[in-house]
Structure 1
């Protein structure tokens, strides 16, 4: 439900329930289509509202759901990035980062730094549903103000990888259990520039991934 009116500085006098009030949910028919329709009509008489129905697309994130599962992806967002960078017809690669990648701060300085920064920013937003590129994005984001051609080539590799995995995302489903599990790893001084480690972790609830991170020490 989208209400077009906004009250930014008004003082709220009415009581607001952050939790269901006492007695709610005790009735046999808690969710009534008739009552919902009546409430929508009442709101429409006071405010300009629009029923957006079931959420399918929000801030670049696509949602496909059923009674048993929810799939989140950023297919259109990836496609737009590939179009903008002229990588839509590029040859895909199988891994999100080059296994033979060597860290370096030397190399030809990138003249258009703003282009590099803007592209990294867009890819950072993509990690909302694409945890598979989190490590690679963590690398290129370290050189936002001192980027080189070599660093830009890392981004290009990631774009080649995205071309071959445009539709990937996060699947959340009812696995009939709610146990919590977590995994973590480190590359043990894998950065040849400053001899620091990069750590990564992810946690699952009921078999569904809920948090993940890749961070240099």
Structure 2
């Protein structure tokens, strides 16, 4: 009815009711109480390991207690915090002579780190690296996991803040390395997106095929970023907040942007032909624009 929205979010036996119509929210609560045995815990403060703090104009999400529990279980509470979550220019890979680590423990730790990245985007790349060795972890891989934990010791208070900015702009940033994986020379794509000025999604993932140039690596990363923007548009439309203009996807590679906006198919772009047609289609209908952003920014 009109612009009124009520949302019910359920995970197993935990639920959150939110919206912009208090009367409808109360009616939903009364109805659910007649169908199920429920307990109203009041305003949202804690949900699935995520702590929620509110002010008049913002919401802050963190997993401080989750980190403390994890550090306690791994006996890392007294560790010295690391300055960075991973060594720069690391050479993590699977080697024939590597010393194996406890696979079950490694998988559990990485799984918890994956969940921690829900509110800690700054460990997304590092977690994506260590998650590539779940089937055959070594002592070096375990050391990388423990370094992430020691970094988190010094970043307990960091989380996500959502502020009212008064607009419905949707934008993203995309980037990729080239042949960064020393084992198979595949590139890693990364993107993150903002809705109404707030960071909402991010991802760092190794590409499925080997890129033959840095432009190809960036172009495939751009396609992933556009897919994420389209998903966000569908989600926002469902909850009555459809973007009013073209979504922006910032890229720091000029050649990649020129190929995306070039109406002519060249021999040098045939190896990314599917991604090229997909991106060009979204540009033609003005769903997405691809402005330039400096690498430094």
Report the TM-score when normalising by structure 1: 0.78
Aligned to 2:70: 81
Which is higher, the Rg of structure 1 or of structure 2? 1
Secondary structure class of the residue paired with 1:195: coil
- The equivalent residue for 2:52 is 63
Look up the match of 1:179. 169
- The correspondence for 2:190, drawn from 200, 205, 209, is 200
Cα distance, 1:136–1:31 mapped onto 2, change above 3 Å? closer
Preserved CA contact (<8 Å) 1:113 1:147:
yes
Instruction: Select 2:92's aligned residue among 98, 103, 114.
Output: 103
Q: Match for residue 151 of structure 1?
A: 141
- Whether the aligned pair in 2 keeps the contact of 1:68 and 1:173 (CA below 8 Å) is yes
Q: Is the 8 A contact 1:109 1:146 kept in 2?
A: no
The counterpart of 1:52, out of the listed 38, 41, 50, is 41
Residue 155 of structure 2 aligns with which residue?
165
Report the CA distance between 1:100 and its aligned residue: 3.7
Range with bigger deviation, 103-112 or 57-66: 103-112
Q: Which whole-Å CA distance do the structure 1 matches of 2:101 and 2:35 have between them? A: 55
- The Cα of 1:172 is off from its aligned counterpart by 0.6
Unaligned 5+ segments in structure 1 are 7-24
Deviation at 1:99, TM superposition (A): 1.0
- Distance apart, 1:44 and its partner CA: 6.2
Instruction: Report runs of 4+ in structure 1 exceeding 6 Å deviation.
Output: 42-46
Number of the residue aligned with 1:16:
none
**1:10-34 Cα deviation digits (max 9, x unpaired):** xxxxxxxxxxxxxxx9xxxx746xx
Unaligned runs of 5+ in 2: 1-7, 14-19, 208-297
Structure 1 CA distance, aligned partners of 2:99 and 2:158? 33
Following TM superposition, by how much is the alpha carbon of 1:47 offset from its aligned partner in structure 2, in angstroms?
5.8
Q: 1 or 2, which has the higher helix percentage?
A: 2
Distance 2:33 2:74 in 1: 44
| Counterpart Cα distance in 1 of 2:32 and 2:118 | 34
Please give the alpha-carbon distance, in whole angstroms, between the structure 1 residues aligned to 2:89 and 2:132.
Answer: 19
Q: TM-score, normalization: structure 2?
A: 0.58
Q: CA deviation at 1:124?
A: 0.8
Aligned residues: 188
